[in-house]
Amino acid sequence: MVLRVSVPLTLLGLLEREPSHGYDLKRDYDTFFGRGKPLPFGQVYSTLARLARDGKVVMGDVRPGEGPERKRYVITDLGATEVDTWLTEPVEPEPHLQTVLFAKVVLALMLGRPAEEYLDTQRRAHLRRMRELNEIKRGENLVDMLLADHGLFHLDADLRWIDLTVARLDALAKAVRP
Amino acid sequence: MTLIAAKDVVVSFGSTPALRGADLSASRGEIVAIMGPSGSGKSTLLHSLAGILAPDSGEIWFDGRRVDTMGEPERSTLRRERFGFVFQFGQLVPELTAEENVALPLLLGGQRRAAALRQARAWFERLDLEGLEQRRSGELSGGQAQRVALARGLVCGPEILFADEPTGALDSLTGERVMELLVASAREHGTTVILVTHEPRVAVYADREVIMRDGLVNTLTPDRIGS
Protein backbone atom coordinates (compact mmCIF):
# COMPACT_ATOMS: atom_id res chain seq x y z
CA MET A 1 0.00 0.00 0.00
CA VAL A 2 1.32 3.43 -0.88
CA LEU A 3 0.61 5.95 1.85
CA ARG A 4 -0.07 9.34 0.33
CA VAL A 5 0.36 12.67 1.99
CA SER A 6 -2.82 13.94 3.58
CA VAL A 7 -3.76 17.19 1.84
CA PRO A 8 -5.76 18.56 4.84
CA LEU A 9 -2.89 17.87 7.26
CA THR A 10 -0.34 19.37 4.90
CA LEU A 11 -2.39 22.54 4.46
CA LEU A 12 -2.89 22.73 8.22
CA GLY A 13 0.88 22.41 8.66
CA LEU A 14 1.49 25.21 6.18
CA LEU A 15 -1.07 27.34 8.01
CA GLU A 16 0.61 26.75 11.34
CA ARG A 17 3.70 28.40 9.89
CA GLU A 18 1.69 31.59 9.23
CA PRO A 19 -1.85 32.62 8.28
CA SER A 20 -2.08 32.38 4.48
CA HIS A 21 -4.25 32.94 1.45
CA GLY A 22 -5.50 29.94 -0.49
CA TYR A 23 -3.30 30.94 -3.41
CA ASP A 24 -0.16 30.97 -1.22
CA LEU A 25 -1.06 27.58 0.24
CA LYS A 26 -1.43 26.07 -3.23
CA ARG A 27 1.88 27.58 -4.37
CA ASP A 28 3.77 26.20 -1.33
CA TYR A 29 2.04 22.82 -1.55
CA ASP A 30 2.98 22.51 -5.23
CA THR A 31 6.57 23.65 -4.53
CA PHE A 32 7.29 21.24 -1.70
CA PHE A 33 4.82 18.38 -1.92
CA GLY A 34 3.21 18.38 -5.38
CA ARG A 35 6.06 16.63 -7.21
CA GLY A 36 4.54 17.21 -10.63
CA LYS A 37 0.94 16.82 -9.41
CA PRO A 38 -0.23 20.37 -8.63
CA LEU A 39 -3.13 20.70 -6.21
CA PRO A 40 -6.22 21.97 -8.08
CA PHE A 41 -7.55 25.29 -6.75
CA GLY A 42 -10.93 23.64 -6.26
CA GLN A 43 -9.41 21.07 -3.91
CA VAL A 44 -7.57 23.78 -1.96
CA TYR A 45 -10.77 25.68 -1.24
CA SER A 46 -12.95 22.64 -0.63
CA THR A 47 -10.35 21.34 1.83
CA LEU A 48 -10.14 24.72 3.57
CA ALA A 49 -13.95 24.84 3.77
CA ARG A 50 -14.00 21.41 5.43
CA LEU A 51 -11.25 22.41 7.85
CA ALA A 52 -13.24 25.57 8.71
CA ARG A 53 -16.42 23.52 9.20
CA ASP A 54 -14.52 21.21 11.59
CA GLY A 55 -13.14 24.15 13.58
CA LYS A 56 -9.51 23.59 12.55
CA VAL A 57 -9.13 26.88 10.69
CA VAL A 58 -10.99 30.19 10.74
CA MET A 59 -11.23 32.94 8.18
CA GLY A 60 -9.02 35.82 9.22
CA ASP A 61 -8.98 39.41 8.08
CA VAL A 62 -8.97 40.14 4.35
CA ARG A 63 -5.61 41.31 3.03
CA PRO A 64 -4.20 41.56 -0.45
CA GLY A 65 -2.24 38.51 -1.53
CA GLU A 66 -0.97 37.03 -4.75
CA GLY A 67 -3.79 35.95 -7.07
CA PRO A 68 -7.49 36.69 -6.89
CA GLU A 69 -8.26 35.17 -3.47
CA ARG A 70 -8.19 37.68 -0.63
CA LYS A 71 -9.33 35.64 2.39
CA ARG A 72 -6.65 34.70 4.87
CA TYR A 73 -6.98 31.46 6.76
CA VAL A 74 -5.74 31.09 10.35
CA ILE A 75 -5.18 27.79 12.16
CA THR A 76 -7.10 27.23 15.42
CA ASP A 77 -5.83 25.49 18.59
CA LEU A 78 -7.71 22.37 17.47
CA GLY A 79 -5.97 22.45 14.09
CA ALA A 80 -2.56 23.06 15.68
CA THR A 81 -3.09 20.11 18.02
CA GLU A 82 -3.90 17.89 15.05
CA VAL A 83 -0.70 18.95 13.27
CA ASP A 84 1.32 18.34 16.42
CA THR A 85 -0.14 14.86 16.91
CA TRP A 86 0.46 13.95 13.26
CA LEU A 87 4.07 15.14 13.32
CA THR A 88 4.91 13.44 16.59
CA GLU A 89 3.45 10.00 15.95
CA PRO A 90 5.47 7.62 13.78
CA VAL A 91 3.99 6.52 10.49
CA GLU A 92 2.85 2.90 10.20
CA PRO A 93 6.06 1.13 9.23
CA GLU A 94 5.23 -0.12 5.78
CA PRO A 95 7.33 0.16 2.64
CA HIS A 96 6.98 3.16 0.34
CA LEU A 97 6.08 5.68 3.00
CA GLN A 98 8.75 8.17 2.05
CA THR A 99 6.23 10.64 0.69
CA VAL A 100 4.48 10.94 4.04
CA LEU A 101 7.73 11.02 5.93
CA PHE A 102 9.13 13.59 3.55
CA ALA A 103 6.08 15.83 4.11
CA LYS A 104 6.50 15.48 7.86
CA VAL A 105 10.17 16.34 7.75
CA VAL A 106 9.66 19.40 5.54
CA LEU A 107 6.76 20.71 7.64
CA ALA A 108 8.63 20.05 10.88
CA LEU A 109 11.58 22.07 9.57
CA MET A 110 9.29 24.88 8.38
CA LEU A 111 7.68 25.02 11.82
CA GLY A 112 10.97 24.85 13.72
CA ARG A 113 9.99 21.48 15.24
CA PRO A 114 12.51 18.75 16.15
CA ALA A 115 12.55 16.90 12.81
CA GLU A 116 15.51 14.79 13.94
CA GLU A 117 13.57 13.50 16.95
CA TYR A 118 10.61 12.61 14.74
CA LEU A 119 12.92 10.68 12.46
CA ASP A 120 14.46 8.88 15.45
CA THR A 121 10.98 7.91 16.61
CA GLN A 122 10.22 6.65 13.12
CA ARG A 123 13.46 4.69 13.06
CA ARG A 124 12.48 2.93 16.28
CA ALA A 125 9.03 2.10 14.91
CA HIS A 126 10.70 0.65 11.83
CA LEU A 127 13.17 -1.38 13.84
CA ARG A 128 10.37 -2.75 16.01
CA ARG A 129 8.49 -3.90 12.89
CA MET A 130 11.70 -5.35 11.45
CA ARG A 131 12.24 -7.32 14.67
CA GLU A 132 8.74 -8.78 14.29
CA LEU A 133 9.48 -9.76 10.68
CA ASN A 134 12.79 -11.27 11.79
CA GLU A 135 10.88 -13.46 14.26
CA ILE A 136 8.60 -14.64 11.42
CA LYS A 137 11.70 -15.68 9.50
CA ARG A 138 12.68 -18.08 12.25
CA GLY A 139 9.65 -20.24 11.47
CA GLU A 140 9.66 -23.18 9.07
CA ASN A 141 7.50 -21.73 6.31
CA LEU A 142 9.69 -20.69 3.37
CA VAL A 143 6.97 -18.51 1.81
CA ASP A 144 6.53 -16.58 5.07
CA MET A 145 10.29 -16.29 5.24
CA LEU A 146 10.54 -14.79 1.75
CA LEU A 147 7.67 -12.38 2.41
CA ALA A 148 9.32 -11.30 5.65
CA ASP A 149 12.57 -10.77 3.74
CA HIS A 150 10.73 -8.61 1.21
CA GLY A 151 9.39 -6.42 4.02
CA LEU A 152 12.75 -6.33 5.79
CA PHE A 153 14.66 -5.14 2.72
CA HIS A 154 12.11 -2.39 2.00
CA LEU A 155 12.07 -1.18 5.59
CA ASP A 156 15.87 -1.29 5.50
CA ALA A 157 15.77 1.02 2.47
CA ASP A 158 13.45 3.41 4.37
CA LEU A 159 15.93 3.45 7.23
CA ARG A 160 18.79 4.31 4.90
CA TRP A 161 16.69 7.20 3.61
CA ILE A 162 16.03 8.30 7.21
CA ASP A 163 19.76 8.22 8.00
CA LEU A 164 20.62 10.20 4.90
CA THR A 165 17.89 12.74 5.64
CA VAL A 166 19.13 13.19 9.22
CA ALA A 167 22.58 13.89 7.80
CA ARG A 168 21.10 16.49 5.45
CA LEU A 169 18.63 18.19 7.80
CA ASP A 170 20.60 21.42 8.12
CA ALA A 171 20.77 21.85 4.35
CA LEU A 172 17.10 20.91 3.97
CA ALA A 173 16.10 23.42 6.67
CA LYS A 174 17.85 26.19 4.72
CA ALA A 175 16.01 25.15 1.56
CA VAL A 176 12.49 25.13 3.05
CA ARG A 177 12.60 28.06 5.47
CA PRO A 178 11.76 31.47 4.07
CA MET B 1 21.10 -6.85 36.68
CA THR B 2 23.61 -4.62 34.95
CA LEU B 3 26.73 -6.50 33.91
CA ILE B 4 28.56 -3.75 32.05
CA ALA B 5 28.13 0.01 31.89
CA ALA B 6 29.71 3.12 30.45
CA LYS B 7 28.94 6.29 32.41
CA ASP B 8 29.49 9.74 30.93
CA VAL B 9 32.48 8.50 28.91
CA VAL B 10 34.58 11.04 27.04
CA VAL B 11 37.25 10.00 24.52
CA SER B 12 39.16 12.27 22.14
CA PHE B 13 41.71 11.47 19.47
CA GLY B 14 43.93 14.54 19.52
CA SER B 15 41.57 17.48 19.21
CA THR B 16 38.80 15.33 17.67
CA PRO B 17 36.12 14.26 20.16
CA ALA B 18 34.90 10.70 19.57
CA LEU B 19 32.74 10.25 22.67
CA ARG B 20 31.25 13.28 24.41
CA GLY B 21 29.65 11.79 27.52
CA ALA B 22 28.33 8.45 26.32
CA ASP B 23 26.20 6.27 28.58
CA LEU B 24 25.28 2.64 27.95
CA SER B 25 24.55 -0.39 30.07
CA ALA B 26 23.72 -4.02 29.37
CA SER B 27 22.33 -6.75 31.58
CA ARG B 28 23.60 -10.29 31.85
CA GLY B 29 22.47 -12.26 28.79
CA GLU B 30 21.21 -9.16 26.98
CA ILE B 31 22.05 -8.48 23.33
CA VAL B 32 22.42 -4.74 22.64
CA ALA B 33 23.05 -3.27 19.19
CA ILE B 34 24.88 0.04 18.87
CA MET B 35 23.86 1.77 15.64
CA GLY B 36 24.74 5.09 14.08
CA PRO B 37 26.49 6.68 11.12
CA SER B 38 30.20 6.39 10.43
CA GLY B 39 32.21 8.49 12.86
CA SER B 40 29.41 8.63 15.46
CA GLY B 41 31.57 6.85 18.05
CA LYS B 42 30.14 3.30 17.87
CA SER B 43 33.45 1.45 17.74
CA THR B 44 35.09 3.83 20.22
CA LEU B 45 32.34 3.08 22.73
CA LEU B 46 32.77 -0.66 22.14
CA HIS B 47 36.54 -0.40 22.60
CA SER B 48 36.04 1.64 25.78
CA LEU B 49 33.59 -0.90 27.23
CA ALA B 50 35.99 -3.71 26.37
CA GLY B 51 38.90 -2.05 28.18
CA ILE B 52 40.88 -1.67 24.95
CA LEU B 53 40.72 2.14 25.12
CA ALA B 54 41.12 4.13 28.33
CA PRO B 55 38.60 7.01 28.36
CA ASP B 56 39.73 10.59 29.05
CA SER B 57 36.98 10.81 31.66
CA GLY B 58 33.91 8.90 32.77
CA GLU B 59 33.66 5.38 34.15
CA ILE B 60 33.51 1.84 32.76
CA TRP B 61 32.03 -0.79 35.07
CA PHE B 62 32.03 -4.56 34.61
CA ASP B 63 30.48 -6.95 37.13
CA GLY B 64 30.68 -4.38 39.92
CA ARG B 65 34.29 -3.32 39.26
CA ARG B 66 35.78 -0.19 37.65
CA VAL B 67 37.58 -1.20 34.45
CA ASP B 68 38.92 2.23 33.44
CA THR B 69 41.04 2.56 36.60
CA MET B 70 42.57 -0.94 36.32
CA GLY B 71 46.16 -1.36 35.23
CA GLU B 72 46.81 -2.81 31.78
CA PRO B 73 47.80 -6.30 33.05
CA GLU B 74 44.52 -6.61 34.93
CA ARG B 75 42.50 -5.35 31.95
CA SER B 76 44.38 -7.74 29.69
CA THR B 77 43.45 -10.67 31.93
CA LEU B 78 39.83 -9.52 31.96
CA ARG B 79 39.76 -9.35 28.16
CA ARG B 80 41.35 -12.78 27.80
CA GLU B 81 39.30 -14.63 30.41
CA ARG B 82 35.90 -12.99 30.48
CA PHE B 83 35.49 -11.14 27.19
CA GLY B 84 35.25 -12.42 23.63
CA PHE B 85 35.73 -10.45 20.41
CA VAL B 86 34.60 -10.69 16.79
CA PHE B 87 35.63 -8.06 14.25
CA GLN B 88 34.51 -7.20 10.72
CA PHE B 89 37.22 -9.04 8.85
CA GLY B 90 37.65 -11.97 11.22
CA GLN B 91 41.33 -11.13 11.64
CA LEU B 92 42.42 -14.74 11.77
CA VAL B 93 46.15 -15.46 12.05
CA PRO B 94 47.01 -16.59 8.50
CA GLU B 95 49.88 -18.87 9.55
CA LEU B 96 47.64 -20.95 11.83
CA THR B 97 45.02 -23.53 10.90
CA ALA B 98 41.35 -22.81 11.60
CA GLU B 99 41.37 -24.96 14.74
CA GLU B 100 44.58 -23.34 16.00
CA ASN B 101 42.95 -19.94 15.47
CA VAL B 102 39.95 -21.00 17.54
CA ALA B 103 42.21 -22.46 20.25
CA LEU B 104 44.37 -19.33 20.40
CA PRO B 105 42.66 -17.62 23.38
CA LEU B 106 42.91 -20.89 25.35
CA LEU B 107 46.61 -21.29 24.49
CA LEU B 108 47.27 -17.66 25.48
CA GLY B 109 45.49 -18.39 28.76
CA GLY B 110 48.02 -21.15 29.48
CA GLN B 111 45.95 -24.20 28.55
CA ARG B 112 47.85 -27.23 27.21
CA ARG B 113 47.80 -27.58 23.43
CA ALA B 114 46.00 -30.94 23.18
CA ALA B 115 43.21 -29.86 25.54
CA ALA B 116 42.87 -26.46 23.85
CA LEU B 117 42.56 -28.03 20.39
CA ARG B 118 40.02 -30.55 21.68
CA GLN B 119 37.91 -27.75 23.11
CA ALA B 120 38.31 -25.74 19.89
CA ARG B 121 37.17 -28.64 17.69
CA ALA B 122 33.84 -28.88 19.54
CA TRP B 123 32.95 -25.50 18.07
CA PHE B 124 33.37 -26.67 14.48
CA GLU B 125 30.28 -28.84 14.72
CA ARG B 126 28.22 -26.18 16.49
CA LEU B 127 28.99 -23.59 13.82
CA ASP B 128 28.67 -25.84 10.75
CA LEU B 129 32.42 -25.86 10.14
CA GLU B 130 33.14 -29.58 10.25
CA GLY B 131 35.93 -30.66 7.91
CA LEU B 132 37.55 -27.21 7.85
CA GLU B 133 39.68 -27.65 10.98
CA GLN B 134 43.01 -27.89 9.14
CA ARG B 135 42.42 -25.09 6.63
CA ARG B 136 44.23 -21.78 6.85
CA SER B 137 42.37 -18.48 6.56
CA GLY B 138 43.27 -18.12 2.87
CA GLU B 139 41.46 -21.40 2.17
CA LEU B 140 38.19 -20.31 3.83
CA SER B 141 35.29 -18.33 2.34
CA GLY B 142 34.33 -15.03 4.02
CA GLY B 143 31.43 -16.66 5.84
CA GLN B 144 33.53 -19.61 6.97
CA ALA B 145 36.33 -17.33 8.20
CA GLN B 146 33.84 -15.24 10.14
CA ARG B 147 32.34 -18.33 11.77
CA VAL B 148 35.86 -19.44 12.76
CA ALA B 149 36.36 -15.95 14.24
CA LEU B 150 33.04 -16.32 16.08
CA ALA B 151 34.18 -19.69 17.48
CA ARG B 152 37.42 -18.04 18.63
CA GLY B 153 35.40 -15.29 20.30
CA LEU B 154 33.24 -17.80 22.18
CA VAL B 155 35.70 -20.61 22.95
CA CYS B 156 36.65 -19.30 26.40
CA GLY B 157 32.98 -19.08 27.43
CA PRO B 158 33.08 -15.28 27.75
CA GLU B 159 30.51 -13.40 29.79
CA ILE B 160 30.44 -10.71 27.11
CA LEU B 161 30.99 -10.95 23.38
CA PHE B 162 32.00 -7.68 21.70
CA ALA B 163 31.12 -7.84 18.00
CA ASP B 164 32.20 -4.95 15.77
CA GLU B 165 30.40 -5.11 12.38
CA PRO B 166 30.58 -8.94 12.43
CA THR B 167 28.75 -9.24 9.11
CA GLY B 168 30.13 -6.09 7.47
CA ALA B 169 32.17 -7.98 4.90
CA LEU B 170 29.57 -10.67 4.11
CA ASP B 171 26.68 -10.95 1.66
CA SER B 172 23.12 -10.89 3.05
CA LEU B 173 22.55 -14.63 3.28
CA THR B 174 25.98 -15.43 4.76
CA GLY B 175 25.68 -12.52 7.18
CA GLU B 176 22.29 -13.81 8.27
CA ARG B 177 23.75 -17.25 8.96
CA VAL B 178 26.56 -15.75 11.06
CA MET B 179 24.06 -13.67 13.05
CA GLU B 180 21.77 -16.68 13.60
CA LEU B 181 24.70 -18.65 15.00
CA LEU B 182 26.01 -15.73 17.05
CA VAL B 183 22.64 -15.12 18.67
CA ALA B 184 21.90 -18.83 19.21
CA SER B 185 25.30 -19.40 20.86
CA ALA B 186 24.94 -16.31 23.03
CA ARG B 187 21.44 -17.34 24.15
CA GLU B 188 22.57 -20.90 24.88
CA HIS B 189 25.40 -19.72 27.12
CA GLY B 190 23.73 -16.61 28.57
CA THR B 191 26.42 -14.45 26.99
CA THR B 192 25.87 -10.69 26.87
CA VAL B 193 26.53 -9.30 23.40
CA ILE B 194 27.51 -5.74 22.53
CA LEU B 195 27.00 -5.54 18.79
CA VAL B 196 28.17 -2.60 16.70
CA THR B 197 26.50 -2.39 13.31
CA HIS B 198 25.27 0.17 10.82
CA GLU B 199 22.94 -2.41 9.26
CA PRO B 200 19.35 -2.38 10.56
CA ARG B 201 18.81 -5.97 9.43
CA VAL B 202 21.66 -7.03 11.73
CA ALA B 203 20.59 -4.79 14.61
CA VAL B 204 17.15 -6.38 14.81
CA TYR B 205 18.73 -9.62 16.03
CA ALA B 206 19.43 -7.74 19.29
CA ASP B 207 17.03 -7.37 22.21
CA ARG B 208 17.29 -3.60 21.87
CA GLU B 209 19.23 -1.03 19.96
CA VAL B 210 20.69 2.37 20.78
CA ILE B 211 21.55 5.01 18.22
CA MET B 212 24.76 7.00 18.46
CA ARG B 213 25.23 10.44 17.01
CA ASP B 214 28.14 12.83 17.48
CA GLY B 215 29.64 10.82 20.33
CA LEU B 216 26.44 10.53 22.36
CA VAL B 217 24.03 7.65 22.88
CA ASN B 218 20.51 8.63 21.94
CA THR B 219 18.09 7.65 24.69
CA LEU B 220 14.75 8.57 23.11
CA THR B 221 11.74 6.73 24.42
CA PRO B 222 10.66 4.02 22.02
CA ASP B 223 7.10 4.96 21.18
CA ARG B 224 6.51 8.65 21.32
CA ILE B 225 8.54 11.75 22.01
CA GLY B 226 7.89 13.11 25.45
CA SER B 227 5.80 10.18 26.64
- CATH number of the domain residue A49 falls in: 1.10.10.10
Partner-chain residue, chosen from B199, B201, B222, that has the shortest CB–CB distance to A124: B222
Residues A102 and A163 in one domain: yes
Residues A169 and A111 in one domain: yes
User: What integer is the mean pLDDT of B48-60?
Assistant: 95
Q: What is the mean pLDDT of chain B?
A: 90
Residue B116 has a pLDDT of 95
Residue B55 has a pLDDT of 95
Residue B220 has a pLDDT of 47
Return the number of other C-beta atoms located less than 10 Å from residue B102's C-beta.
Answer: 31
DSSP per position, B163-194: EESTTTTS-HHHHHHHHHHHHHHHHHHT-EEE
Its domain, for residue A55, covers 1-83
Give percent of chain B with pLDDT exceeding 90: 72
pLDDT exceeds 90 at position B197: yes
Partner-chain residue, chosen from B204, B213, B225, that has the shortest CB–CB distance to A130: B204
Q: How many angstroms separate the CA of residue B204 from the nearest CA in chain A? A: 5
Contact A128 B224 (CB under 8 A): no
Contact B211 A130 (CB under 8 A): no
* Bigger pLDDT: A87 vs B48: B48
- Does the beta carbon of B187 lie under 8 angstroms from any beta carbon of chain A? no
Residue B221 has a pLDDT of 41
| Residue that terminates a domain, selected from A54, A83, A112 | A83
List of chain A residues whose C-beta atoms are within 8 Å of the C-beta of residue B211: 120, 123
SS3 content of chain A, % helix, strand, coil (to 5): 65, 5, 25
For residue range B151-174, list pLDDT tens digits in order. Answer: 999 999 999 999 999 888 788 888
- Does the beta carbon of B223 lie under 8 angstroms from any beta carbon of chain A? yes
Give Dmax over CA atoms of chain A in angstroms.
67
Residues A61 and A145 in one domain: no
Yes or no: is domain B2-218 CATH 3.30.300.10?
no
Helix or strand or coil: residue A34? helix
* Bigger pLDDT: B215 vs B89: B215
Residues A25 and A69 in one domain: yes
Partner-chain residue, chosen from A117, A118, A130, that has the shortest CB–CB distance to B201: A130
pLDDT exceeds 60 at position B44: yes
Residues A72 and A157 in one domain: no
Confidence label for B7 from pLDDT (cuts 50, 70 and 90): very high
Confidence label for B196 from pLDDT (cuts 50, 70 and 90): very high
Contact A134 B37 (CB under 8 A): no
Residue A88 has a pLDDT of 87
Residues A63 and A115 in one domain: no
Residue B22 has a pLDDT of 95
Q: Domains in chain A: how many in total?
A: 2
| Residue that terminates a domain, selected from A83, A98, A115 | A83
Backbone angles phi, psi at B191, to 5 degrees: -80, 135
Residue A142 has a pLDDT of 82
Residues A79 and A99 in one domain: no
Helices and strands, counts by H and E, chain A: 8, 3
Exposed/middle/buried for B208, CB within 10 Å: 0-12, 13-18, 19+?
middle
Residue B225 has a pLDDT of 34
Residues A140 and A176 in one domain: yes
- pTM for the whole thing? 0.78
Confidence label for B223 from pLDDT (cuts 50, 70 and 90): very low
- From chain A, which residues contact B within 8 Å (Cβ)? 88-90, 114, 117-118, 120-121, 123-128, 130-131, 133-134, 152-153, 155-156, 159, 163, 166-167
For residue range B86-128, list pLDDT tens digits in order. Answer: 988 768 999 999 999 999 999 998 999 999 999 999 999 888 8
| Residue that terminates a domain, selected from A39, A68, A83 | A83
Return the number of other C-beta atoms located less than 10 Å from residue B85's C-beta.
Answer: 20
Residue A1 has a pLDDT of 37
Residues A97 and A168 in one domain: yes
Residue A68 has a pLDDT of 57
Distance CA B190, CA B192 (A): 7
Residues A100 and A65 in one domain: no
Residue A66 has a pLDDT of 55
A43 Cβ contact partners less than 8 Å away, ≥ 6 residues apart:
A7
B82 Cβ contact partners less than 8 Å away, ≥ 6 residues apart:
B62, B63, B158, B159, B160
User: What integer is the mean pLDDT of B40-44?
Assistant: 93
Cα separation values, B208 from A168, A169, B192, Å = 26, 26, 12
H helix runs in chain B, sequence order: 42-49, 72-82, 98-108, 113-126, 142-154, 172-189, 200-203
Give, in degrees to the nearest 5, the angle at Cα B198 between B193 and B203: 45
Cα separation values, A43 from A8, A26, A91, A108, B51, Å = 10, 9, 24, 23, 62
pLDDT exceeds 50 at position B222: no
How many Cβ pairs closer than 8 A exist between chain A and B? 47
Partner-chain residue, chosen from A117, A125, A163, that has the shortest CB–CB distance to B37: A163
User: What integer is the mean pLDDT of B31-59?
Assistant: 93
Contact A126 B200 (CB under 8 A): yes
- Give the residues across from B12 on adjacent strands: B17
Residues A3 and A78 in one domain: yes
Contact A88 B209 (CB under 8 A): no
Q: Return per-residue pLDDT of chain A as tens, 178 residues.
A: 344 678 999 999 999 999 999 999 999 998 888 777 889 999 999 999 999 999 999 988 766 655 555 789 999 999 999 999 998 888 777 766 667 888 889 999 999 999 988 998 899 899 999 999 999 888 878 888 888 998 899 899 989 989 889 889 999 898 887 7
Distance CA A19, CA A14 (A): 8
Residues A5 and A76 in one domain: yes
